[in-house]
């Protein structure tokens, strides 16, 4: 640093920038409420075996049976595959999740209700009591702008 001169630093922010930040933070609170609302699984998550793979399974069983080895007796290990629109075939973990959530709500109703209060009612859209949307804080405004909704 050169000697002999003086350097001055001072905080400055444009007004439009301050307003944009305030809008972003407000929207982040709304998004957090949405994120804390449980979302069930829709559709399939894992693809079903292809017909060629199934044929290979069948051939393996036939080979084992022909040579006197034990066989699987046909596929019964995996759940029923679901066929979505467009011919997409796969398996869904939703039945398992629904069962676990139902068991959780039955065994721990208080905890389940507490957890749900961070989100919103997925049917009515009512915001939970502990959601960020219901925790208003007065923002210190240095410039103009508003939260904007």
Q: Which of residues 76-95 bind another protein (CB under 8 A)?
A: 77-81, 83, 89, 91-94
Q: Which of 19, 48, 145, 147 binds another protein (CB under 8 A)?
A: 48
DSSP run (H or E) holding 51:
helix 51-66
Distance CA 83, CA 90 (A): 7
- Residue 18 within binding range of another protein, rule CB under 8 A: yes
Residue 124 near residue 112, CB atoms below 8 Å: no
Q: Which of 16, 72, 122, 148 binds another protein (CB under 8 A)?
A: 72
Q: Which of 19, 58, 145, 147 binds another protein (CB under 8 A)?
A: 58
- Residue 70 within binding range of another protein, rule CB under 8 A: yes
Residues 6+ apart with CB under 8 A from 43: 84, 90, 92
Q: Which of 19, 84, 112, 124 binds another protein (CB under 8 A)?
A: 112
Helical H segments across 67-134, by residue range: 94-107, 109-116
């Amino acid at each position: 640093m050169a000697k002999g001169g003086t350097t001055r630093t001072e905080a400055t922010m444009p007004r439009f920038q301050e307003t944009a930040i305030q809008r972003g933070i407000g929207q982040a609170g709304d998004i957090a409420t949405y994120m804390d609302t449980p979302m069930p699984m829709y559709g399939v998550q894992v693809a079903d075996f292809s017909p060629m793979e199934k044929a290979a399974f069948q051939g393996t069983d036939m080979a084992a049976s022909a040579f006197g080895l034990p066989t699987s007796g046909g596929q019964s290990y995996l759940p029923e595959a679901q066929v979505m629109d467009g011919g997409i075939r796969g398996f869904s973990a939703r039945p398992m999740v629904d069962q676990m959530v139902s068991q959780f709500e039955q065994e721990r109703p208080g905890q389940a209700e507490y957890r749900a209060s961070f989100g919103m009612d997925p049917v009515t859209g009512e915001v939970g009591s502990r959601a960020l949307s219901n925790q208003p804080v007065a923002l210190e405004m240095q410039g103009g702008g508003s939260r904007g909704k």
